[in-house]
Chain A
Amino acid sequence: MKYLLFVFNSSVQDLWRNKGRTFLTSLGILIGVLSVVLLTAFGLGLKRYIQNQFDSLGTNLVFVFPGQVLKNGSFSSSPGGLQVRFDERDLVRIKRIKGAEYVVPIYTKSGDIKSLGKTEFSTLFLTSAEFFPSRNFKAQYGKLFTDADDNKRAKIAVIGPKIAEKLFGSSANAIGKTVTTSNIRLKVVGVFESKGGGGFGGPDLDSYAIVPYKTGYIINTDKKFLQMQIKATNDKVLPQLKVDITNELLKRYHSDEFSLVEQTEIMNAITQIFGVLNIGLVAIAAISLVVGGIGIMNIMYVTVTERIKEIGIRRALGARKGDILWQFMIQAIILSLFGGLMGLGLAYGITFGIQRVFPAYIDTNSVALALGVSSLIGVVFGVFPAKKASDLSPIEAIRYE
């Protein structure tokens, strides 16, 4: 204990005496740990963000897509049969199935939306009035449209708060105004409460213009839908509901022409993607950790060479090979741990600073991994120079100038 304390103290003193060198040596590890922790923080943050987005969709949802969207739990690379679109007949048939609370058709078209001389990018989202309760959309200003509006093919729109603000300055101002998109003039009857999201690849719901789907037949001339969304009355009926919907659709389509995807399945696929992505990111960042370790090894070699005479003196006075080994090992470990902790501190600082614009998130695993790896690097890369030092013959070492 006394011995270890002595070695620790003298190592710290040594490193303190060469402050500049210590810092520069640790810099490699610092950058390595920083990049590992930050990249995992970004990956995890993105994953959690997307998970939250999916949770906010509402539960007990089943999506019907054309073609094979998911294969063995991950997104299919070549979804075939995309030309198949669903139509009103499918809606009516599925609505008859027990356990289907809402059956919602979806057709989207991206494009410009204009009003009062301003043009903004938006998504025209054609759906039925049932879309709103199925996804928990509520009116913040004005009202949402109804089935009656749909049947009348009313030229109205419920728009998102973001696009409302861009076009009219505020959500409240939007009510009663007219917007033009895809050559249809629509009266804004409502602005829905913010759904958040957008900006990181997810759907930017707050910029949507939601329009009754029958009104949309003006542009959607073949009256088909890209997607259907079915909300089950509760989670217990969900498995049977999926079977029934599949059987119903099989009457009209081939089994590979459509797919039923549950929200949890999409989640799993996304989790899988991020799992792979994260491993890739960490592997890249790990390269810099290794480079940092090599930096430490170089410095330790120089230190050993500088101190050959001292090593000889210590050996003559009775230091064992192991004592010398430890002395250099501890220095290498302190160097890399120091770099690791600095990198971690910096990573926390950056994550904290960036959290307002990006949902980065540091978890304890990546902290443990980074610190574990950096001290391991100290051991691994410290052991070669330390071994060299301890293997010197005392008499040759003591004569070394």
Chain B
Amino acid sequence: MIQLKDIWKEYKIDKEVTFTALKGVNVEINKGEFTAITGPSGSGKSTLMQIIGLLDKPSKGEVFIEERDTSKLNDNETSRYRNEFIGFVFQQFNLINKLSVLENVLLPTIYSRKKLDYDPTEKAIYLLERFGLKGKIKSFPNKISGGQQQRVAIARSLIMSPLLILADEPTGNLDTKSGDEIMKLLKELNKEEKITIVIVTHEPDIASQTRRTIRVVDGNLQK
């Protein structure tokens, strides 16, 4: 479903010094997988996630989504791919505070050029209710707890029925109880709805709950 071929990523630190975050990484993510990308901080795991999520372009190498080479896409097409194929869940939740919970969940559909075969509002309400946020639909993100905010973010990531959910340290900003709830929810979504999930985490405890672990050390995959 998603293939990364010989991915290199270099950052210019100043005129002469470049930092190589990824050194020829090959990864394949298949439909229905529940994968963790782990590694110490600075290992390149976040960079890898950004490249999978089309938030950043590799310096060298190709990313194929459904057999299509995304390196040839222009900015508008890349935006469309992000919109339709990838759902993001961030450590900081990254909800927009001045939009209500419901508006936040609906935000990706606003930017969608695709004709949706469902009513987005109905789906959003269904997801929020299912995630235990029935009474919070009209609330604003800064008025609800962190765990609740992350559940809103998960609902947002699901609204476009993406190929893949990319979760970057989804429990990193939460207490243990809320974190466990989020992990439970993600596992449930993978198991029951066959949703492909990739979690980036540095916590071995979180990684151990997934079915596959990709370990990144110094810009290389550790077999």
Residues of A within 8 A of B (CB): 2-3, 6, 10, 13-14, 17, 309-310, 313-323, 393-395, 398
Contact = CB atoms under 8 A, between A and B. Distances in A.
Contacts of B111: 3, 314, 317-320, 323
Contact of B88 (A17, A316, A322, A323): A316
A321 B76 contact: yes
Contact of B79 (A2, A3, A14, A318): A318
Given A13-B98, A395-B55, A398-B94, A318 B50 contact: no
Nearest to A399: B92
- Most B-side CB within 10 Å, residue of A14, A318, A320, A323: A318
B83 interface: yes
B96 A321 contact: no
Given A318-B83, A321-B75, 10 more contacts: A309-B94, A313-B95, A314-B107, A316-B55, A316-B82, A318-B80, A318-B108, A318-B112, A394-B55, A398-B90
A316 B90 CA distance: 11
B17 interface: no
A380 B106 CA distance: 31
Nearest to A398: B94
Given A317-B108, A317-B111, A395 B82 contact: no
B75 A3 contact: no
Contact of A14 (B84, B88, B95, B98): B98
Nearest to B95: A313
Nearest to B57: A393
Given A394-B55, A395-B50, A395-B56, A320 B79 contact: yes
Interface residues of B, number: 25
B13 interface: no
A6 B120 CA distance: 15
Pairs A-B, 5 closest by C-beta atoms: A318-B83, A318-B111, A320-B79, A395-B55, A317-B108
Given A318-B79, A319-B79, A17 B110 contact: no
Name the residue among A13, A309, A320, A321 with the largest chain B CB count within 10 angstroms: A320
Most A CB atoms within 10 A — which of B56, B98, B111?
B111
Given A318-B108, A318-B112, A322-B76, A17 B82 contact: no
B151 interface: no
A318 B84 contact: yes
Interface string B64-79: 0000000000011001
Contacts of B107: 314, 317
B156 interface: yes
A146 to B, nearest CB: 85
Given A6-B110, A395-B50, A398-B94, A317 B83 contact: yes
Nearest to B76: A320
26 contacts: A2-B110, A3-B110, A6-B110, A10-B99, A13-B98, A309-B94, A314-B96, A314-B111, A315-B82, A316-B53, A316-B88, A317-B83, A317-B108, A318-B79, A318-B84, A318-B111, A320-B76, A320-B79, A320-B111, A321-B76, A322-B76, A323-B111, A395-B50, A398-B55, A398-B90, A398-B94
B152 to A, nearest CB: 13
Interface in B23-47: none
Contact of A313 (B79, B96, B110, B112): B96
A310 B110 contact: no
B88 A317 contact: yes
Interface string B87-127: 01010001110110000000110111000000000000000
B156 A317 contact: yes
Contacts of A3: 110-111
A322 B75 CA distance: 10
Contacts of A10: 99
B34 to A, nearest CB: 22
B25 to A, nearest CB: 17
Nearest to A394: B55
Nearest to B107: A317
B82 A317 contact: yes
Contacts of B76: 320-322
